């Protein structure tokens, strides 16, 4: 059977069945190997104020936010891009 991608859009290999994870944006249940995990650092202080405080030598802690996105949400937010047919075959999808 022909495949659109070398790893069939997942990274589980020949592992068999696996659990599902809920997308943090749309709530869809997606296989664990298909999820796109995005880590962002969110500062609790506003940008201009944080810059000023950093210049004064203050340490500003940042929150680390980890989000699990399904593929369609990841494409919507620009985490992934739609690739051409040749490009899809070259390297792993995720
Ligand atoms: Zn989603």
pLDDT digits (tens, 9 = 90+) for 10-19: 889 899 999 9
Q: CA nearest 61: which of 46, 43, 37, 40?
A: 43
Calculate how far, in angstroms, residue 23's C-alpha sits from the geometric centre of ligand 1: 5
Q: Which one, of 75, 65, 67, 70, lies nearest residue 28 by Cα? A: 70
Ligand 1: distance of its center to the CA of 34 in Å? 11
Ligand 1 centroid from CA 75, angstroms: 10
Q: Using one digit for the tens of pLDDT, what is the confidence trace for 7-65? A: 888 889 899 999 999 999 999 999 999 999 999 999 888 889 999 999 999 998 889 99
**Residue 79 CA to ligand 1 centre (angstroms):** 12
The whole-model pTM stands at 0.77
Distance 53 CA to ligand 1 centre (A): 37
């Amino acid at each position: 059977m022909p495949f659109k991608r070398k790893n069939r859009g997942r990274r589980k290999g020949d592992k068999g069945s696996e659990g599902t994870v809920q997308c943090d944006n749309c709530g869809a249940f997606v296989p664990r190997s298909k999820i796109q995990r995005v880590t962002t650092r969110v500062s609790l202080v506003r940008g201009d104020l944080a810059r000023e405080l950093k210049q004064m030598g203050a340490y500003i802690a940042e929150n680390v936010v980890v989000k699990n996105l399904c593929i369609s949400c990841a494409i919507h937010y620009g985490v992934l891009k739609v690739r051409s047919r040749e490009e899809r075959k070259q390297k792993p999808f995720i």
